[in-house]
A and B are shown apart, each in its own frame.
Chain A
């Protein structure tokens, strides 16, 4: 596989060391931290598998073999979750990565998925009302 294309249904944002991605069609919510966020940024900029591995090696305390294994698993999870698909296209080497101390402590890139974040709105007993929020203004007494 060469590059990844982020699905058009995915709305995503990176802040510092975290990416949040939301599938606009299903509402599924994903969080990606640190090494995973770097891999995501590489993918967004059109970088390929090898570029992700190189970014991890240069920025984290991890050897190449380990980085390759972990990136492979991470990319597989992106494909499985329909966040991305294999692609070929323009390549940029500007990944817009935030500054990080060289060889930072490493944790494998991980995709955390939460399928039903919006169900939490139902779990909260008070949010059984419309989007105007609770409570509504007091109605005028009938009599």
Chain B
């Protein structure tokens, strides 16, 4: 079976959760006999990652430049790729201009357009709130999803949100939680003073709140430290915040880490802080669980599923910095409790969030849409029936 992934960006050791998920899924799918290729509108980057062909279409700049000649060239290149690869299934991760261009290929073209699965990884109404988009943009997203043969959402929050702007896809919307690989090495004893934030440095992740919480944490526990792993547009403002609060000795910015380095840092940390404003089903929380580390997180969409309150971590009201500080400090001061929560998180990850389970679920969906011929799917397999 030949699978073509559509994704916004694809770079080795990329810090984005979707990229990490796809990198690992590609490895596992190939080991199971699948041929996988990637198609991304991110123009810069290698054409191959671990033996997987990456087609890079320069799509973003022509849209921004309003350049019809370049857009037509991209459109033709996309058609060539689809025709030459002859995917059994096209699996798009999130929606965007690439999916929109893909859907411009008529379903009845020669060869026929392959069946399409779209996985929604984000709570889009939250994600788009700052942009103040017109309602027509949500209609547009709904139409993109209506064109898919099957739509998946990574969490119940994401699923409910998707139905709010695409109610007509209820009969072909499935829950498909993410999965991650277990750590390669046994997780040792953590540093009881070290906390970790991992992710893109964007407002969504709320790392500013973690930095602000460090003031109160350090007042009670002067040896506490926070590591921030990731890159992004907020880097400078976060570093400025650290300087303004006089926390230079307490907080380190690690930059872009690869997956192994992230897992090592998790193993060394007593807990992971996730003060996000919203999430789909964040891989960082799942990786922390696999590492046996508790997560102190906002009780926001997505995170309130990835973290079970007082079972696998601690949830605090979203945006409540004092509560975040109190919860983190309480865990640093009570290492046996932190260890219990971490162990419970690991047990849950093993049963619900393995990469093997994720890929097996994908395989079931691929078989289903390819058997159905990709059109007018009436009764997709429900997630409860998935392996």
A interface, CB within 8 angstroms of B:
11-13, 15, 18, 20-24, 27, 29, 31, 115-131, 133-143
Contact in complex: B231, A117 (CB < 8 Å): no
Chain B: CB-nearest residue to A118: B63
B14 located at the interface, meaning its Cβ lies under 8 Å from any Cβ of chain A in the complex: yes
B239 located at the interface, meaning its Cβ lies under 8 Å from any Cβ of chain A in the complex: yes
Contact in complex: B72, A142 (CB < 8 Å): no
Which chain A residues border B204 with CB–CB below 8 Å? 128
Which chain B residues border A143 with CB–CB below 8 Å? 248, 252
B134 interface neighbour in A11, A27, A116, A134, Cβ under 8 Å: A116
B18 located at the interface, meaning its Cβ lies under 8 Å from any Cβ of chain A in the complex: yes
Contact in complex: A131, B133 (CB < 8 Å): no
B232 located at the interface, meaning its Cβ lies under 8 Å from any Cβ of chain A in the complex: yes
* With A124-B97, A126-B18 already in contact, 19 other A-B pairs whose C-beta atoms are closer than 8 Å: A13-B68, A18-B72, A20-B68, A21-B68, A22-B66, A23-B66, A116-B140, A120-B100, A123-B128, A124-B94, A125-B121, A125-B127, A133-B9, A134-B200, A135-B16, A135-B256, A136-B233, A138-B256, A141-B255
Contact in complex: A20, B71 (CB < 8 Å): yes
Which chain A residues border B128 with CB–CB below 8 Å? 122-123
Residues 206-248 (chain B) with a chain A CB within 8 angstroms: 231-233, 235, 239, 242, 248
CA distance A135 to B252 in the complex (A): 20
CA distance A20 to B94 in the complex (A): 25
Given A15-B72, A131-B61: A124 and B140 interface contact (C-beta under 8 Å): no
Which chain A residues border B11 with CB–CB below 8 Å? 135
Contact in complex: A119, B69 (CB < 8 Å): no
Contact in complex: B131, A135 (CB < 8 Å): no
Given A12-B68, A22-B68, A138-B231: A124 and B16 interface contact (C-beta under 8 Å): no
Which chain B residues border A142 with CB–CB below 8 Å? 239, 242, 248, 252-253
B60 located at the interface, meaning its Cβ lies under 8 Å from any Cβ of chain A in the complex: yes
CA distance A130 to B242 in the complex (A): 23
CA distance A39 to B133 in the complex (A): 34
Residues 97-120 (chain B) with a chain A CB within 8 angstroms: 97-98, 100, 104
Which chain A residues border B136 with CB–CB below 8 Å? 115-116
Q: How many residues of B contact A (CB 8 A)?
A: 58
Contact in complex: A24, B231 (CB < 8 Å): no
Which chain A residues border B66 with CB–CB below 8 Å? 11, 22-24, 27
CA distance A15 to B73 in the complex (A): 9
Which chain B residues border A117 with CB–CB below 8 Å? 63, 97, 100
Q: Which of B14, B41, B76, B141 has the most CB of A within 10 A?
A: B41
Which chain B residues border A18 with CB–CB below 8 Å? 72, 75
CA distance A66 to B18 in the complex (A): 51
Residues 61-91 (chain B) with a chain A CB within 8 angstroms: 61, 63-64, 66-69, 71-73, 75-76
7 nearest A-B residue pairs (beta carbon): A124-B96, A138-B255, A138-B256, A126-B8, A20-B68, A13-B68, A120-B97
B96 interface neighbour in A121, A129, A141, Cβ under 8 Å: A121
CA distance A106 to B107 in the complex (A): 19
- 1/0 per residue, CB under 8 A from A, across B180-221: the answer is 000000000000000000001010100000000000000000
CA distance A65 to B249 in the complex (A): 81
Contact in complex: A131, B64 (CB < 8 Å): yes
B43 located at the interface, meaning its Cβ lies under 8 Å from any Cβ of chain A in the complex: yes
Which chain B residues border A128 with CB–CB below 8 Å? 202, 204, 233
Q: Shortest distance in angstroms between A114's beta carbon and chain B's nearest beta carbon?
A: 8
Contact in complex: B256, A119 (CB < 8 Å): no
Which chain B residues border A137 with CB–CB below 8 Å? 231, 256
CA distance A143 to B242 in the complex (A): 12
8 contacts between A and B (CB under 8 A): A117-B100, A118-B64, A124-B95, A124-B97, A125-B122, A133-B44, A135-B200, A137-B231
Given A138-B256, A139-B255: A123 and B60 interface contact (C-beta under 8 Å): no
A126 interface neighbour in B9, B134, B248, B254, Cβ under 8 Å: B9
Contact in complex: A119, B133 (CB < 8 Å): yes
Chain B: CB-nearest residue to A115: B136
B297 located at the interface, meaning its Cβ lies under 8 Å from any Cβ of chain A in the complex: no
CA distance A120 to B69 in the complex (A): 19
CA distance A129 to B121 in the complex (A): 18
CA distance A39 to B102 in the complex (A): 26
